Structure 1
Amino acid sequence: MVGYGFMVLVLLVLIYFVFAFVLSRMSVAQEPETKKEISIYILTNGVHTDLVVPVKSNVIDWTKYVKYSHTKGNDTTARYLGFGWGDKGFYLETPTWADLKVSTAFEAMTGLSSSAIHATFMHAMVENDACKRIDISQEQYERLAKFIIARFDLDARGDSRHIVTNANYGMDDAFYEAKGSYNLFYTCNTWANAGLKACGQKAAIWTPFYQGIFYHYK
């Protein structure tokens, strides 16, 4: 029975990766005749994908939700803001893979834990294999902004709920309470991919990995 159970587990994992590969190569087309009015970026660290947007524009001033003062550096000169959504346990309790706990991994895979938004202020964007610029219209950016805001777990006044922690990645980032649960089928990269769909850009049909997003921006 143990051997049979192991074989079933291996088969399920194999099916998962096959579907992830196939569906990530199938694309959702970009909306035609897109006006190039605002530049956004997709940025990966080799695991997560962030959606990077201007801190301020005619569409939205993100400092309403992400305060400079919530970061250690409190640097008000940053021009861009990167958003990532993911499992709260991974974000706050797993600074390196060596710190990963079985309980954290299990809760993340099964959707039993809560989520968080990781926001990072940035000064300049350098386009390379890990950072791609996408020019979109103001109307498309409005849709993207609504998509991002919808993941914030706002309080009764409509303010973001800052997570006070020492788990920051650097001097320019902060964490916020978020809606939804991370799981095997809706990961941080699935969320970023959905954000691209929301604003009418090229995206994978479905992907749990960053490669599935960047494959369409080679």
Structure 2
Amino acid sequence: MIPSRVPAMILRRWLGRAAMLLALLFGGYGTAGLIGGAIPANAGWRPPAQGVRIYVESNGIHVGIVVPKVAGGIDWRGLAPGADLADPRYAGYDHLAIGWGERAFFLDTATWADLRPRTVLAAARGSDATLLHVEHVPAPRLAGNVRSIVLRPTEYRRLAAYIRASFAPSRERYRGYGANDAFYAGTGHYDAIHTCNAWVGDALRQAGIRVGRWTPFPVTVLGWF
């Protein structure tokens, strides 16, 4: 009987070690993300008294940037026209909510109930297939998951340039989740380091705004505003 127990004992031992390794990996990733998000880039930046107002908003996992359709010399209407929507009437809203991410993750998870571990793991390993999710929305109301940021016109133009560069030249479009949104082919590589939230941090950092040096989690973005 003893020999038959040996494989089971070995299996349990290896499973225990694997679980410990995963815990260390996730714990290390979380700690590194919080540290990276706490180290400021553009530390001397302060918001102006007047300028272009944008927003960052979170659904608890994903952060996006909300911009006015026309402001500071930037007009987004040609980039995401109402004709791309299931219901073009939503183009009457005066803001766009823009987020970047991995294509399969976006298209296969219309709701959080659709989220599958294999989708998360596949995205974390890395993918060059990225999309931008664009929603036509009214100006958000300030709440715990929404922050308002006022930018100088030059800062806003740099932000707009970064966002525009994230759209693939092909202009390939995918149907959105509802009547007021659409997906567009993106550029860039998605992985566990360059996440959807890190993209938002990169965009703000490139604009010259004070934010964490690495922002993989919602709190590492919203915590600065």
TM tier, shorter chain? 0.7 to 0.9
- Pair 100,33 (structure 1): closer, same or farther in 2 beyond 3 Å: closer
Unpaired runs of 5+ in structure 2? 1-12
TM-score, with structure 2 as normaliser: 0.85
- The answer as to 2:216 corresponding to 1:202 is no
- The answer as to 2:30 corresponding to 1:17 is yes
TM-score, with structure 1 as normaliser: 0.88
1:7-156 mapped onto 2 (5 Å cutoff)? 7-28=20-41, 29-32=43-46, 34=48, 36-75=50-89, 76-112=91-127, 114-155=129-170
* Whole-angstrom CA distance in 2 between matches of 1:162 and 1:79: 21
Report which of the two structures shows the higher radius of gyration computed on alpha carbons.
Answer: 2
Residue deviations 1:33-73 (CA, integer Å, cap 9, x gap): 74632111111111111111111124221122111111122
Question: Which residue of structure 1 lines up, in the alignment, with residue 173 of structure 2?
Answer: 162
List 4+ stretches of structure 1 deviating above 6 A: none
Deviation at 1:11, TM superposition (A): 1.7
Question: Which residue of structure 2 lines up, in the alignment, with residue 184 of structure 1?
Answer: 192
* Whole-angstrom CA distance in 1 between matches of 2:145 and 2:178: 19
Question: For residue 24 of structure 1, what is the amino acid of its counterpart?
Answer: G
Q: Answer with 7-16 or 183-192: which moved more.
A: 7-16
**Residue 207 of structure 1 contacts residue 213 of structure 1 at CA under 8 Å; is this kept in 2?**
yes
Q: CA RMSD in A?
A: 1.9
SS in structure 2 of the partner of residue 12 of structure 1: helix
Question: For residue 95 of structure 2, what is the amino acid of its counterpart?
Answer: Y
* Whole-angstrom CA distance in 2 between matches of 1:50 and 1:11: 29
Unpaired runs of 5+ in structure 1? none
SS in structure 1 of the partner of residue 205 of structure 2: helix
Q: Which has the higher helix share?
A: 2
Percent identity of equivalent pairs: 29
Question: For residue 152 of structure 1, what is the amino acid of its counterpart?
Answer: F
Question: Which residue of structure 2 lines up, in the alignment, with residue 215 of structure 1?
Answer: 223
* Whole-angstrom CA distance in 2 between matches of 1:18 and 1:124: 34
Residue deviations 1:162-193 (CA, integer Å, cap 9, x gap): 12x3xx23321110000122211111100001
Question: For residue 51 of structure 2, what is the amino acid of its counterpart?
Answer: E
